[in-house]
Structure 1
Amino acid sequence: MQRRTLLAQALGVGGFAITGKAAAQAITLNGASQFNDEHAFTRCLVRFEELVRQYYGEPINFVLHKNSSLGLEKQYFEYMSQGRALDYGIVSPAHMSTFSRAAPFIDAPFLFRDLAHWNRVMDQDLLKPIGDEVEKRARVMLVGYAGGGIRNIFANRPLTNLAELRGVKVRVQGAPIWSRTFAAAGMSPTVIAYNEIYNAIQNGVIEAGENEAAGVEQMRFFEVAPHLAQTQHAVTVRPICFSAGSFARLPPKLQAAIRRAGPEAAAYGRQIESGEDSQKIDALAAAGRLKKVEFSDRQALMDKVAPVLGAYAREIEAEGILGRITGVAG
Structure 2
Amino acid sequence: MSFYKSFKCIAVCAVSASALFASAAVADTITLRGASMFDENHAYTKTLRQFEELVAESYDGDVEFDLRLNGELGDESDFVTFLQQGVAIDYAVMAPSNMAVFSPSIPLMDMPFLFRDLDHWNAALSSGVMAPLEDELLEKADIKIIGYTGGGVRNLASAEPVKDMADLTGHKMRVMGAPIQAQIFSAIQAAPSAIAYNEVYNAIQTGVIAGFENEAASIQNLKFYEVAPNITLTRHAITVRPIVMSGKTFRKLPEELQAAVLQAGAEAGAFGRNLESTEDGLKMQEMIDAGQITVLEFSDRDKLLEMVIPVQDAYATELGATDLLKAIREQ
1:142 aligns with 2:117: no
1:254 aligns with 2:257: yes
Q: Which residue of 1 aligns with 2:269?
A: 266
Once the two structures are TM-superposed, the CA of residue 125 in structure 1 deviates from its matched residue by 1.9
Secondary structure of the structure 1 residue equivalent to 2:74: coil
Once the two structures are TM-superposed, the CA of residue 257 in structure 1 deviates from its matched residue by 0.6
Secondary structure of the structure 2 residue equivalent to 1:34: coil
Q: TM-score under structure 2 normalisation? A: 0.95
- Once the two structures are superposed, the pairs formed by residues 174-213 of structure 1 within 5 Å of their partners are 174-213=177-216
Q: Which shows bigger deviation, 92-101 or 259-268?
A: 92-101
Equivalent residues of 1:16, 1:86 under 8 A apart: no
Distance 2:172 2:81 in 1: 29
Once the two structures are TM-superposed, the CA of residue 64 in structure 1 deviates from its matched residue by 0.3
Q: Which residue of 1 aligns with 2:8?
A: 4
AA in 1 matched with 2:164: N
Residues 279-304 of structure 1, C-alpha deviation per residue, up to 9 Å, x if partnerless? 10111011100001111221211111
AA in 1 matched with 2:70: N
1:42 aligns with 2:45: yes
Q: Which residue of 2 aligns with 1:74?
A: 77
% identity of equivalent residues: 44
Once the two structures are TM-superposed, the CA of residue 5 in structure 1 deviates from its matched residue by 3.4
Change (3 A) 1:263 1:134: same
259, 280, 284: which one aligns with 1:281:
284
Q: Which residue of 2 aligns with 1:166?
A: 169
Q: Which residue of 1 aligns with 2:223?
A: 220
Secondary structure of the structure 2 residue equivalent to 1:18: helix
Aligned residues: 326
Runs in 1 of length 4+ with deviation above 2 angstroms?
11-22
Once the two structures are TM-superposed, the CA of residue 187 in structure 1 deviates from its matched residue by 0.5
1:300 aligns with 2:293: no
Distance 2:9 2:67 in 1: 16
Distance 2:126 2:67 in 1: 28
Q: Which residue of 1 aligns with 2:101?
A: 98
Residues 51-79 of structure 1, C-alpha deviation per residue, up to 9 Å, x if partnerless? 11111122111100111111111111111
Q: Which shows bigger deviation, 4-13 or 110-119?
A: 4-13
AA in 1 matched with 2:134: G
Equivalent residues of 1:108, 1:177 under 8 A apart: yes
Distance 2:261 2:12 in 1: 23
Distance 2:307 2:214 in 1: 21
Distance 2:25 2:175 in 1: 46
Q: TM-score under structure 1 normalisation? A: 0.96
Distance 1:299 1:134 in 2: 33
AA in 2 matched with 1:98: V
Once the two structures are TM-superposed, the CA of residue 28 in structure 1 deviates from its matched residue by 0.6
Structure 2 gap segments, 5+ residues each: none
AA in 2 matched with 1:173: M
AA in 2 matched with 1:4: K
Residues 114-147 of structure 1, C-alpha deviation per residue, up to 9 Å, x if partnerless? 2221111112121111001111111110011111
Structure 1 gap segments, 5+ residues each: none
Secondary structure of the structure 1 residue equivalent to 2:23: strand
Once the two structures are TM-superposed, the CA of residue 198 in structure 1 deviates from its matched residue by 0.7
AA in 1 matched with 2:11: L
Change (3 A) 1:161 1:268: same
Once the two structures are TM-superposed, the CA of residue 242 in structure 1 deviates from its matched residue by 0.5
Equivalent residues of 1:310, 1:319 under 8 A apart: yes
Equivalent residues of 1:172, 1:190 under 8 A apart: yes
- Once the two structures are superposed, the pairs formed by residues 92-131 of structure 1 within 5 Å of their partners are 92-131=95-134
Once the two structures are TM-superposed, the CA of residue 17 in structure 1 deviates from its matched residue by 4.5
1:64 aligns with 2:49: no
Distance 1:119 1:300 in 2: 25
